[in-house]
Amino acid sequence: MWRSILAMLIAMLTVQCADNPAGATTTPFTKSVTGTVAASGTSRQSLTIPRSGNLLLTLSWTGATDLNLYLAPASCTVLNPKAQCNILLQSNFSTSQESIARSVSEGESFSVFVENMSASSTSTYTLNIRIDERHLDPPL
């Protein structure tokens, strides 16, 4: 009888561990950075990825300025000229919000640039960084 109870307990623990493997993170990583970018200028943020997953960068601001968002390798320390920066992703719509998404791995490093397209107005912004757990498709 004790063997049956012990076997059931082991089976229950095995199922629970399979549903939530040790070290699995389900809470997203989030961080907000505020900054100011001068008229016709750029602002750079260094970003080192603290965990693997799906990265979402969201840039928001108020006012009539047009800001653009760029993701580049960490080796890119100056955005312009863009051809020399090897930009990985960009968002440059004329709205009050830009966003970039991609899969990332823990330890990767990037440069995030905010570019102000206005020749006459300084702008403040908020850059929201979110990394959600990467969901893998089950094997077929």
pLDDT value, residue 28:
95
Query: How is the chain split into domains, by residue range?
Result: 29-132
Provide the pLDDT for residue 136.
56
Query: How many CB atoms neighbour CB 105 within 10 A?
Result: 11
Full-prediction pTM beyond 0.75?
yes
pLDDT tens, the chain, 140 aa long = 445 443 444 444 444 444 445 555 579 999 999 999 999 999 999 999 999 999 999 999 998 899 999 999 999 999 998 989 999 999 998 788 999 999 999 999 999 999 999 999 999 999 999 999 876 555 55
Q: What CATH number should be reported for the domain whose range is 29-132?
A: 2.60.120.380
